[in-house]
Amino acid sequence: MKRTVSILAGGLLFGTLSTAALADDGRELVIDGETIATTAVPADDHPLDELISGWRFRSAETQALQMDDFENPAFVAIEYAEEIWETPAGKSNQSCADCHGDANNFTGLRTKLPRWNDEMGKPATMEMLINASIETHQGAEPWKWESAEMLAMTALIGLQSRGMPVAMKTDGPIADWVKKGEELYYTRVGLLNMACANCHEDNYGNMIRADHLSQGQINGFPVYRLKWGGLGSIHRRFKGCMDQVRAEPYKRGSDEFIALEAYVTSRGMGLSVETPSVRN
Amino acid sequence: MKAIAKTIAAATLLISGSAVAGVVAPGDVQFVEAAVPVSLTGAVGDPAKGREWFANRKLGNCLACHANDDLAEEQFHGEIGPYLEGIGDTYTEAELRAIVVNSKEVFGEATIMPAFYKSEGLNRVAKKFAGKTILSAEQVEDIVAYLATLKE
């Protein structure tokens, strides 16, 4: 409950002007009778005292959409991915299912990504692993980062880990990338001259106009954003923030965004995978 | 630059933008302690316009971070920066101008508040905003004039 109080503190200062309805009141995320933890205790050296899922910063209406898979608009994409999963493609004429069996064979994968990949010589995100399989196993054309197919498939595979704690490995060769991501996180950019940390570390829980600032955790991606009317990737969200501070965004799939994804994932270690989450 | 700004005739003030003669360019703003005593345009701003720029999401967008009772008709006031009730009593116009132009000169590097009249020394500015400032000199003056009216 201590956590709830600190989230609310910002709201209470300007209680007469801000929308109290948006302030989190400690609701629990329950899907299909299963409670999914939306807070976690960070490691001792973590810059935050508490880890809080973005779900907790949303309105009751938005929260409800994620609590019922029939209401969650992302499940249209899940069904699409299930079709793709069974459909043979490429020179091999094999489907995902032919090699991997049921998608639930990937249970736990989402919690470990990004993960160092020797062949790629860099950390692999879910998108990169899917495309590597499409190219090398199926002999088919890779998907674009933000394509409907990629969003659907990352949602389906991520869903298999829903409720499991984020547990990426941060030591070994990925450590340099996490470090680079950390530098990006604290580097001010754009005409507004802001870093990720200015909003998501220093001001989470505060309202920025009509938006309730979250910690910018990425445990629910790909996310169905009501603003987008569809699913979007982690890198699309990063780009959105950079656009808002009038910075020149990095490209989806760029080394910078891979590094930032690795670092931001490491900041949410212990939070539950919520894929596919719903946000406003 | 300061001297020129002081002597410039009001006739040129209808045109905004840093390229206009007589307007203090972003790189030439003189901070005296935590204040900018001289008008960027050489003229007094229009508080009614300043109130518009203050609320406008593409310009000041000040409400994104600051609550302001004087704009009660606007929904959703931010909670990032201080409440602006009585800000015209707290600071002089010269101090308000310094805060709007570049608050880091007043509050230090750590502040989240953007510099509204600065175009250089920034990192990875989007191409369409390169070399630009968030507000024109005239808009800064209008907002300063407006903030000065916020008295208890």
Among B78, B115, B129, whose Cβ lies nearest the Cβ of A208?
B78
Residues whose CB is less than 8 angstroms from the CB of residue A139 and which lie 6 or more positions away in sequence, other chains included: A90, A91, A92
Cβ burial, residue A258 (10 Å; 0-12/13-18/19+): buried
Residue B132 forms contact with A (CB below 8 Å) = yes
Smallest CA–CA distance from A14 into chain B, residue: B79
Residues whose CB is less than 8 angstroms from the CB of residue A7 and which lie 6 or more positions away in sequence, other chains included: A23, A24, A52, A56, A57, A204, A205
Helices within chain A (DSSP H only): 2-13, 60-66, 75-86, 96-100, 109-112, 126-133, 148-159, 175-185, 196-200, 234-244, 255-267
Residue recorded with tokens 């939070």:
A271
Q: What is the ipTM of this complex?
A: 0.87
Smallest CA–CA distance from A210 into chain B, residue: B76
Residue B58 forms contact with A (CB below 8 Å) = no
pLDDT tens for chain A, 280 residues: list them: 333 333 333 333 333 333 333 355 789 999 999 999 999 999 999 999 999 999 999 999 999 999 999 999 999 999 999 999 999 999 999 999 999 999 999 999 999 999 999 999 999 999 999 999 999 999 999 999 999 999 999 999 999 999 999 999 999 999 999 999 999 999 999 999 999 999 999 999 999 999 999 999 999 999 999 999 999 999 999 999 999 999 999 999 999 999 999 999 999 999 999 999 999 9
pLDDT of residue A183: 98
pLDDT of residue A18: 36
CB contact under 8 A, B77 and A194: no
Residues whose CB is less than 8 angstroms from the CB of residue B57 and which lie 6 or more positions away in sequence, other chains included: A209, B64
Residue B56 forms contact with A (CB below 8 Å) = no
Q: What is the pTM of this model?
A: 0.89
Q: Which residues of B touch A11 (CB under 8 A)?
A: 79
CB contact under 8 A, B126 and A19: no
- CA dist B67 and A252 (Å) reads 36
How many Cβ pairs within 8 Å bridge chains A and B? 86
Three-state DSSP state, B123: coil
DSSP annotation string for B61-109: -GGGT---GGGTTSS----SS---TTHHHHS-HHHHHHHHHHTHHHH-T
Residues of A identified as active-site? 241
pLDDT of residue A207: 95
CB contact under 8 A, A247 and B63: no
Q: Omega into A222 within 30° of 0, i.e. cis?
A: yes
Greater model confidence, B38 or A23: B38
Among A190, A208, A246, whose Cβ lies nearest the Cβ of B65?
A208
pLDDT of residue B20: 60
Interface test with A, best of B84, B85, B124, B135 (most A CBs within 10 A): B124
Among B76, B79, B112, whose Cβ lies nearest the Cβ of A13?
B79
The count of C-alpha atoms lying within 13 angstroms of the C-alpha of A255, restricted to the half-sphere facing its C-beta, is: 8
Q: What is the number of helices (H) and of strands (E) in chain A?
A: 11, 11
Residue recorded with tokens 């109130």:
B51
CB contact under 8 A, A209 and B122: no
Long-range contacts of A101-107 (CB under 8 A, 24+ apart): A103/A156, A103/A157, A103/A159, A103/A160, A104/A160, A106/A157, A106/A160, A106/A161, A107/A160, A107/A161, A107/A164
Q: What is the dihedral of CA A122, A128, A130, A136, to 10 degrees?
A: -70
Q: Which residues of A touch B81 (CB under 8 A)?
A: none
pLDDT of residue A140: 98
pLDDT of residue A26: 83
Among B77, B112, B125, whose Cβ lies nearest the Cβ of A247?
B125
- Of A206, A214, A196, A200, residue with least CA distance to A256: A196
β-pairing verdict for A277-279 and A223-225: parallel
For the record, the structure tokens of A145 come out as 């980062």
CB B101 within 8 A of CB B117: yes
The answer, yes or no, to whether residue B46 has pLDDT greater than 70, is yes
Three-state DSSP state, A272: strand
pLDDT in tens, B119-151: 999 999 999 999 999 999 999 999 999 999 999
Distance from CA of A38 to the nearest CA of B (A): 24
CB contact under 8 A, B65 and A19: no
CB B38 within 8 A of CB B5: yes
